[in-house]
A = this chain, B = another copy of it.
Amino acid sequence: METPTALIGVDWGTSNLRVMRISAGGGLQEERTDPRGAGGLAPDAFAGVLAEVAGDWLAVDPPVLVCGMAGARGRWRETAYQPCPAGLEQLARGLEQPDAGLRRHIVPGVAAFGPDGELLDVMRGEETQVVGLFGAGEGGVVVAPGTHSKWIRLEAGQIVGFRTFMTGDLFRAIREATILLPHGGEPGGDDAAFRRGVERSLSDSAITAALFSVRVDALAGRLPPESAPDYLSGLLIGAEIAGAPDARTSRVYLAGASALAERYRIALALAGFGDVVAADVSEVTALGLWRIWETARP
């Protein structure tokens, strides 16, 4: 007999949606994805999209816990950012109900503040992966690659600081709107070109100049058009690693989609990171949602 579902988990990103059946204890039983991301939905559209995608999973009226951009201003229901240091307790205390009476809750994001109380950085969604990766009292560094990559530091089970890099967003903007990739394309075909890009950025701190090497290398005949996306991806990921807080002496947990995470693994190795552990985003998000739910017991 199948283990019963204890929680429906939702990771509602800007550009897509993932709904998960989660067992007591946080195991991921099944997941469904949908392209209707939070970025394109009005506040009153969320409940209907969720009902469609989760479908029969909602028949028994299970509790639903949502992380990600559904909690951003102007989306399903805004949840206040929890300030660093933030761990399970703070996230559990910050849950918000978008529809009174229904067992649906949204996880708050986390904000980093500077010494004078000024807002430094924000996240929505990665905090849930982090509490899925780390038990109480643990520490380390999480790298969450993507449109807006995050480098997150944990101490004693608390997010103590983090930094956002525009890596994925810049890759797409440079491809679409500069002279560098006139033929477009996706990275993934030329590992050697990717590595050259990473090494270039690791040894050249001026990324806005190093980017011009995409054009110069093409002019010189050493970068064929089909390899240019790999080289550009290497330049931007290399610049991210070069600019990130030095974490070479910490274990680094790498959370992300498999092909992208593999490129980060290669780049981190080139940069001298010796202890990198890959994590499955769906599994850690499911476990994180379960832990927040269990802590809140709303």
Contacts and interface: CB of A to CB of B under 8 A. Distances in A.
A259 interface: no
A208 B236 contact: yes
Contact of A208 (B207, B209, B217, B220): B207
A248 to B, nearest CB: 16
A205 interface: yes
A177 to B, nearest CB: 4
Q: What is the total number of copies of this protein in its complex?
A: 2
Contact of A173 (B177, B216, B239, B242): B177
Chain A contact-residue range equals 35 or more
Contacts of A174: 170, 173
Nearest to A118: B220
A128 to B, nearest CB: 20
A44 interface: no
A179 interface: yes
A108 B243 CA distance: 38
Interface stretch (A28-36, A97-105, A160-168): A160-168
9 A-B pairs with the lowest CB-CB distances in the bound complex, closest first: A206-B243, A173-B177, A119-B220, A173-B173, A164-B212, A169-B178, A165-B209, A177-B177, A173-B178
